[in-house]
Structure 1
């Protein structure tokens, strides 16, 4: 049994009862107990103190519950914990995470005062919380088992080089070991040069390479390094119900055409952040759920469960299908559900990096802004296939997790520093959630006395918007005769049903992908309209073209002058 009303709360109630006995009859409260703001602070502080003391006592006898700073006894600098105990305690800690949520549900606020609600109301609210929270996910039928990387900010100990991350000892499954290790300047230089070699291989062997393209490759690496701390970044970026925190993406999509090296990049990233040599490089989307019954929906359900776990192992998934993006019950629902759930989640959770084909990528505006998309479509030149494969194998052989082990310790320092700035806005863009990671990598280059490479990304990208721009730019260029422009209203009409004509396609219509790819700034009609109405000036500015319907008009001559 779990006491959802703590003993410190009862102390306050008892004190109030004693105080009320001194009041006149008309001033006494019959069905509620008043709590001041100070009372609530005292309750929370006392409860947390009790938890810490309980943990210390439990640690002395080897009882290590999950997710509360309990994985390692830092006082004695012990690096051992029983993983069976760890797993057995998982559901118990899910209950303990609900204490403050239950408290907030059974305490109502009126005119600045807090009061305990009546028994009937408390029962209804408690049942609602418990019925949702106390049912563990059941994925026992899934063959794939993710390796364990767990995080506890309470166990960050910079002086003893403890990052708060812990893994299973590969030699003894009944032990958990802290993850993170300082590296020497020589190892640091070698690790950074391996990244340089990776990006240089794209320069040498792909078509249409640019330094801006190399920045996107580096950006994917920075996201992967940050992934175990994505919950910390989000929680420190604003209140759970703020848009600022909701805009911190939990999922990165890497969109690339065939033969652009998406899977190869994913494998390199995997080796960089791998902490268990036996773990797979990544998971093929099609193999996550191997039965045919409701394969699509069940696969997404498994992803949702994994991304809601306290296991912060980066989730790397290869080749998301077209259906994931075009079916609102797949990608859109996954992004939005996760975004809403983690807003109230008290534990850490992992991030996901997934590849897809660039032409397949599209999500509606809500899901786009809450995920991250990097364009990765420079195709490898087959004339250099042998040389590119040799170079890639050399890079894979050199790649290891030593830089990542050092990085997690440095990021832990940022978490421990009360002066850390978690919000960075540049040029009016969204919060650069990777700003701290960029800062750490800039420090790396300073330490090896080398300039920051020109392909190092200095800010977050908006490739999802650019992907939509390209999609509609091509549509306008190749199907211009079916766009109808009204000069008086500056409105552009396009019949979306034309996209679905003569297409033998099961499931979501192609027109939906185009509607989702539109920026809300250019829409002048609802998404369900037969004719998509667009704001003329805004649309042409968005796709980066002049309005051809204005050529020869007074307005076009005025613009030229």
Structure 2
């Protein structure tokens, strides 16, 4: 949230009196108070960055989520406190929270000014906030059920909560302060462990030696480092924290016995979500295995043995195939807008340095000569398609140029989506998926490699869809989609470049709906960097996508081929062109786009007046037009001025051909002024492909069907006759007053014809590979 939200749906009682709504910054007033002690449910990095940065001392204790299957006092330790602590560590939540802090707040943590803690051995359900000023001795006590999360103060969350604020109530403040120090503090341990802080400090020390790492250094730890931290911290929780509190008699002697028996009576719990079960079973098994198996009073094993068990748990359940598949994606570009500093030439993008030890800023303004060279290289690429593609036209060339513009914009799409959206549903207008539907021999894979070179200065980042897993792999389709989801959710903003996506991905909802729809829903409801996907797929005359997938995908159709007679010459030409490609222009683009994102006056909601579509690449086009002006070059004819809506045109064309060739199969129903079509006739016996029924069903817009989605289901499709004929551009033979409409551009719907917002789709449970997929 950009501004402090108004708390008009939160009832605030201030010193016993009802008070008007207060802003978050007023509740946590860093001008009046400089110290904070908080016992809360959750805390987000953005909340700390926005509201707590100016406090000189912050101590936050995190609550323990209640376990559904905790029934006894021992369960509150083993199934609630200890399991939650191990799960948080295994999920790398401390590292993720630390990485989300600004560089200044990361420094505050390293110097001990900001402390976040949690309780691994006692359930902590308290919640209160103590603010004070060490100079003026002003105090404030806040009691309430909210978390340190902007969402809890969002008026659009549509919920009511109570907040009790007590200013200068010294007795209450001292009471709770003493309770915290005497009772709660002894059972807390640092959420940011010594292992994590050492790794962070080591990276900062390494970065300080690098001349490229200008300005404030930010910590972004790689997966291997956070894996090692998680393993060491989980071991320490059991071998040190539990043992220490047993020795001090803070924990009862029965704790180790409860740890050994923690896996009993699990049948009912195993009916819950599969992923949650696997996580808990893993943690419980670790608890059980960490104590002696047969002793009447079990003792905790040595640290070395526990560490071995933890390491084994980290990799058990993942096959070597799964581990190899997840390592195929190795391109990382991190978007950190909170670190953006245009005066210091910092675009907010970071990449790992050559040694992979620490992140360095990415982006550099280019000279006019370099910009001109970059544009000439792109023009040379398009000239190659112009020379060697059969029936090439500038209109067709726009697809290639549009793909390049999308790739340049990709790292910033999640930010653009936030700025262009008035409400979450608008986010679907900024798709995180670009699909290049192309025939064999059209140069689509070459284009993907060119995109890679123009943005990353290499052509080796492509992932071949069909070889993510070997052919003989059991459940290959499901595992392939799970791997792609993993690639997209590594925290990087650089697009996943996926070649030769197989048709089943688009046509079967358990794959495309799961990845495309669920990912977009996640992005619009919880904006954060999820890598866009740019993929190619073989196009034929019947290519289609599920409507929900198409709504959230930018589809560009490349259905022309390179002339067979000139393939040798074409290969030689494009080879020579590719030797000239680099990412100098992309680095400059990163700086210019970052500047637009930081400018509050930049317009992001640019709609095409003819189609009503949001042009989410509008500002990218502006930057490139400025490039041509600076370079003294004319804007090429294949420069796209608006979004290309190829999927809708392809769908319209398919049904137009079907009607023209099989008009007798469309039966007119006068009562409803509709057409009935027996879609079961689209079978192999009649010369269609095996999946033609679903292809045509998916390609038919819902708004053309009688009774909406119900009109598309079953054996007979029922279509509104007037709308259908207008859509396909044919004369309506059942309306004597209708003139032919073939001269009208019907490739795009009018405002009234535009698809209505779809109802939310229930998300299927996400199944991922074992530990790495369970815990990130």
* Counterpart contact for 2:366–2:584, Cα < 8 Å: yes
* Counterpart contact for 1:81–1:174, Cα < 8 Å: no
1:321 to 482, 502, 512: 502
1:208 aligns to 2:213 (yes or no): no
1:431 aligns to 2:436 (yes or no): no
Q: Match of 1:54?
A: 105
User: How many Å separate the matches in 2 of 1:158 and 1:448?
Assistant: 23
Q: Given the two structures, how large is their TM-score scaled by the length of structure 1?
A: 0.78
1:151 to 311, 328, 335: 335
Mean CA deviation greater in 484-493 or 465-474: 484-493
- Write out per-residue CA displacement over residues 333-366 of structure 1, whole angstroms, 9 at most, x where no aligned residue: 3211101112233531211111112236322322
Q: CA deviation at 1:39?
A: 4.3
Q: How does 1:412-451 map to 2 (within 5 A)?
A: 412-427=594-609, 428-451=611-634
Q: CA deviation at 1:430?
A: 2.0
Q: CA deviation at 1:196?
A: 0.9
Q: Which runs of 5+ in 2 are unaligned?
A: 1-9, 29-46, 56-100, 113-196, 231-271, 281-313, 743-776
Q: CA deviation at 1:89?
A: 9.0
Alpha-carbon spacing, 1:90–1:303, altered in 2? closer, same or farther (3 Å) = farther
Q: Match of 1:530?
A: 715
Q: CA deviation at 1:161?
A: 1.5
Q: CA deviation at 1:234?
A: 0.9
Alpha-carbon spacing, 1:456–1:49, altered in 2? closer, same or farther (3 Å) = farther
User: How many Å separate the matches in 1 of 2:589 and 2:739?
Assistant: 57
Q: CA deviation at 1:47?
A: 2.8
User: How many Å separate the matches in 2 of 1:559 and 1:311?
Assistant: 48
Q: Match of 2:700?
A: 518
User: How many Å separate the matches in 1 of 2:484 and 2:740?
Assistant: 54
1:285 aligns to 2:465 (yes or no): yes
* Counterpart contact for 2:329–2:487, Cα < 8 Å: no
Q: Match of 1:391?
A: 573
Q: Match of 2:773?
A: none
Q: Match of 2:652?
A: 469
Root mean square deviation, CA, Å = 3.8
Alpha-carbon spacing, 1:461–1:355, altered in 2? closer, same or farther (3 Å) = same
Q: Which runs of 5+ in 1 are unaligned?
A: 1-12, 28-33, 93-126
Structure number with bigger Rg: 2
* Counterpart contact for 2:352–2:358, Cα < 8 Å: yes
1:271 to 442, 453, 462: 453
Q: Match of 2:156?
A: none
Q: How does 1:56-75 map to 2 (within 5 A)?
A: 56-58=107-109
Q: Match of 1:110?
A: none
Q: CA deviation at 1:479?
A: 2.6
- Write out per-residue CA displacement over residues 142-165 of structure 1, whole angstroms, 9 at most, x where no aligned residue: 241322211100111212211111
Q: Given the two structures, how large is their TM-score scaled by the length of structure 2?
A: 0.57
Partner SS state of residue 698, structure 2:
helix
Q: CA deviation at 1:46?
A: 2.8
Q: Match of 2:481?
A: 300
Aligned pair count reads 489
Alpha-carbon spacing, 1:211–1:515, altered in 2? closer, same or farther (3 Å) = same
- Write out per-residue CA displacement over residues 349-398 of structure 1, whole angstroms, 9 at most, x where no aligned residue: 21111111223632232221211101111111112112211111111111
* Greater relative contact order (Cα < 8 A, sep 6+): 1
Q: CA deviation at 1:486?
A: 3.8
Q: How does 1:46-195 map to 2 (within 5 A)?
A: 46-49=51-54, 52=102, 53-58=104-109, 77=215, 83-84=221-222, 87-88=225-226, 140-142=323-325, 143-170=327-354, 172-195=355-378
Partner SS state of residue 259, structure 1:
coil
Alpha-carbon spacing, 1:488–1:227, altered in 2? closer, same or farther (3 Å) = same
